[in-house]
Structure 1
Amino acid sequence: MSSNAPTEPLMNDGLDSEPPAKRALQYVLQKKEEGWPVAGIYCGYAPIELMQAMKIVPALLCAFSRVPIESAEEVLPANLCPLIKSSYGFIREGTCPFFSAADVVVAETTCDGKKKMFELIAELRPLHVMDLPQMPEQNEAKAVWRQMIVRLKNFLERQTGRSATEEQIEEAISWSNRKNRLARKIFEYAALCPPVISRKEIYDISFLAMPSTGFDVIPLLEEKLEKLEKRKQAGRYFGTPDAPRVLVTGCPIGGDATKIFRVIEEAGGVVVAPDSCTGTKTFNNDIAENTGDPIGALAERYLKIPCACMTPNTGRMTALSKLIETYRPDVVVDFILQACHGYNVESRRIADHVKNHHGLPFLKVETDYSDADTGQLKTRIEALFETLPKAADAN
């Protein structure tokens, strides 16, 4: 460890005392009280800048608890992805406050299971499904996705009576770029060794900087940056200097799925890069500004999100290499939800890329939202850490 490295471990200094979901819900309900329509969304491909320009609140819907899955399985097959079952279970039981507040739902064709679940949701709320082109390298992909965004705009205009000019969309794009740049600066504090920000803080920031907190989030991010810089200068950090640094990639992680983070930490590791749609992924890449075609700029940027639904998903390899170079993990864990075939099949390419291009140990984890396999996961991760050179050996 270098002589100017932090020297004081920091065990608990989170974003704030209020849970991010509670803060987000308060914002959504406040805006709804002010007369703003609410659009429920599930995916990072939903163009939130368009909604915000139309003075519509995008609200991330519930999807990460095992509690409502039993109810969902009365309708959906048991061998379906737990995220889809949890999503529908929340709606079926009426226990997702964001869905209760939603006037419309914006969906997308990222997987077959979700598409069929959306048909059931359409019985309860006005729903618009965006047909996502899944071969982004084709020349016509951007034009197709641009047309899908135009169709979404038309749908929202019909359902809510709201509209937005090109200038208003440009303003929302400018705000989004500023927000994403602030988020990326915050995440960079995890690149320090030891990291100055915890995985929980990264997760909280990701949740709050996603759509539900709207334009109020920028002052919060700026304040967080100031706190992190003071923490860095004071020599405070998370984990231990020789703790294995872990990059977790793969499926979205939240709620009960965060068990993978807890297991890694209990095994002595520190998560420095949660690379998923609920982590750092949705904050990469700025949207081009002042192009004269803000909807086209949105289409171009959103097609750069490297989800496993894309083929060939070369963007994920490029993004993963950049993360590895920035955050310098010792190992990579690929988190796969059961029955998520896209990420499961793609895991082979991820393993080859991590091992052959970066020379890092790799572990694929396939799981669900239950705690039944927690002990097994811990054993596997501890075994993974045992393959790493000890600090004394490295010196």
Structure 2
Amino acid sequence: MQAAMAAVPPLIENAQIADPVRRFLEYVLNKREQGNPVVGVYCGYAPVELIRAMGAVPVSLCSASQWTIPAAEAILPANLCPMIKSSFGFIRTNACFFYAASDAVIGETTCDGKKKMFELIAHLKPTFIMDLPQLPDDTEVLDRWRKSVLKLQGFLEKTLQTSLSADRLEAEIRETNRKNRLMDRFFAYLACRPIPVSWREIYDVITLEHVANGDEFQDLIEKISSSIDQRIALGQCFGTFSSPRILVSGCPVGGDACKVLQIIEEAGGVVVAMEACSGMKNYFVRITEESSDPLRAVAESTLSIPCSCMTPNRRRLDLLDKMIARFSPDAVIDVVLHACHAYNVESHKIRKHVQKKHGLPCLKIETDYSKGDIEQIRTRVEALFENLELKK
């Protein structure tokens, strides 16, 4: 399978496609040179439409690298989420350009670990903590969340010395919806059997979406679609008709945690969907356009993200139902980062739902960013694939 994959021409001709951090770094530097401020965020609940409407550039400050964790553990407990430790470690070692470049930082109360980490860095930059309500079905929750978004607007206007206009916000709403529709066009190829793109290419396209405006991204998707159509015509795909098709769910999977995705492909499987926060989840959201209250429309769209911090979290099960129906996985692999208690507890409900409703096996993998468990993960993934083969 690896030899066949190597023979497939690159999907995107870009000298920096193998280095998304550098690509994003150049994008942010160019924007700063043009006079655009930078706003760091830690979660998809931060309304990027509001940030962009003020002429600012949103950048993610979440990190997924093992090498800064020792520096973080000098202050943070060792049994804390590796994403929090990695992110804090980059700040503590002054190694995070995106944090250094940020004129303001937005945090969200998605978990206790993040909340306390924000307290340790709040003195370094103008920081605003959004009070995220976590009872999505409560009748008053949208009003409370809109108030938090409105407070964020006031913070950004004061910090960035600018103002928000309804027209600019409406334009950014349309821009997000346009790019999400384009991304959905790309996702349609993931339903093919065999699949004509690899997990790395899925991540490449997601990364490029963050550094492109609507026109640039439409041109990119047109070129990508043409390349994929050519692959299909030539029979250039990843895996075979019988390769195990895997939906990856759970915690954000990026950086050093991509070892799980790599192992899936090395074991002969193909990743056909990623429900995780760092994957496809946010692109299924549509924001109401031409409403009388665009700020409320933005608040409503972000609140609909089905993170495990929400309770009850029926929306995540509904999203999994739609993704399973669309991408036809043979199994679900639920990736849980160590000490991420919300996703860890919810993994039991995910497994029962996937098995009972869809008749699919569900493998839970608890991991961090180290390399010490790679062979253990490989053994478990290979055993899953062997069981799938026996059931055929």
Range of TM-score over shorter length: over 0.9
Q: Aligned partners of 1:161 and 1:226: how far apart in 2?
A: 44
Residue 283 of structure 2 is aligned to residue 271 of structure 1: no
Note the 1:160-309 alignment, pairs <5 A.
160-210=160-210, 212-214=211-213, 216-309=216-309
Do the aligned partners of 1:282 and 1:305 also contact (CA within 8 Å) in 2?
A: yes
Aligned mates of 1:8, 1:102 — CA distance in 2:
39
* Residue in 1 that maps onto 2:32: 32
Secondary structure of 2:88 counterpart: helix
Question: Which residue matches 2:117?
Answer: 117
Change (3 A) 1:209 1:111: same
Pick one of 10, 18, 21 that aligns with 1:13. 10
TM-score by structure 2 length?
0.95
The answer on whether the counterparts of 1:10 and 1:239 sit within 8 Å (CA) in structure 2 is no
Compute the displacement of 1:285 (Å).
1.8
- Normalised by the size of structure 1, how large is the TM-score? 0.94
SS at match of 1:388: helix
CA RMSD of aligned residues (A): 1.7
SS at match of 2:363: strand
Kept in 2: contact 1:190–1:272 (CA 8 A): yes
CA distance in 1, matches of 2:38, 2:244: 42
* Distance 1:294-1:307 versus aligned 2 partners, 3 A rule: same
Q: What do residues 153-203 of structure 1 show as CA deviations (whole Å, max 9, x unaligned)? A: 110000001222111101000011000111111122111000111111111
1:62, CA displacement in angstroms? 4.4
Q: Distance in 2 between matches of 1:214 and 1:111?
A: 31
Unaligned runs of at least 5 residues, structure 2 = none
Q: Residues 173 and 144 of structure 1: is their aligned pair in 2 closer, same or farther, counting only changes over 3 Å?
A: same
Give the letter aligned to residue 17 of structure 1: A
Given that 1:9 and 1:240 are in contact with CA atoms closer than 8 Å, whether structure 2 keeps it comes out as no
User: Residue 8 of structure 2 contacts residue 236 of structure 2 at CA under 8 Å; is this kept in 1?
Assistant: no
Give runs of ≥4 in structure 1 deviating > 6 Å. none
Deviation by residue 1:314-351 (Cα, 9 ceiling, x = unmatched): 00000001110111011100000000000000001000
Residues 1:41 and 2:38 are matched in the alignment: no
Query: Is 1:345–2:345 an aligned residue pair?
Result: yes
* Superposed CA offset, 1:92-135 (max 9, x none): 11111111111111110000000000111112111101011101
Kept in 2, the 8 Å contact 1:62–1:98? The answer is: no
Tell me if the contact between 2:11 and 2:224 (Cα under 8 Å) persists in the aligned partners.
no
Distance in 2, matches of 1:312 and 1:12, equals: 45
Stretches of structure 1 that go unaligned for 5 or more consecutive residues are 1-6
| Cα distance change of structure 1 residues 165 and 237 upon mapping to structure 2, 3 Å threshold | same
- State the alpha-carbon separation in 1 of the partners of residues 192 and 35 from structure 2: 44
SS in 1 for 2:80: coil
Which residue of structure 2 aligns with residue 156 of structure 1?
Answer: 156
SS of 2:290's partner is coil
Task: State the AA in 2 paired with 1:162.
Answer: T
Note if contact 2:62-2:84 (Cα within 8 Å) is conserved in structure 1: no
- C-alpha displacement at 1:217, in angstroms? 3.7
Residue 253 of structure 2 aligns to a residue in which SS? coil
Aligned to 1:3: none
Distance in structure 2 (CA, Å) of the matches to 1:299 and 1:278:
20
Residue of structure 2 in register with 1:97 after alignment: 97
When residues 272 and 342 of structure 1 are mapped into structure 2, their CA distance, relative to the original with a 3 A threshold, is same
One-letter amino acid of the counterpart of residue 13, structure 1: P
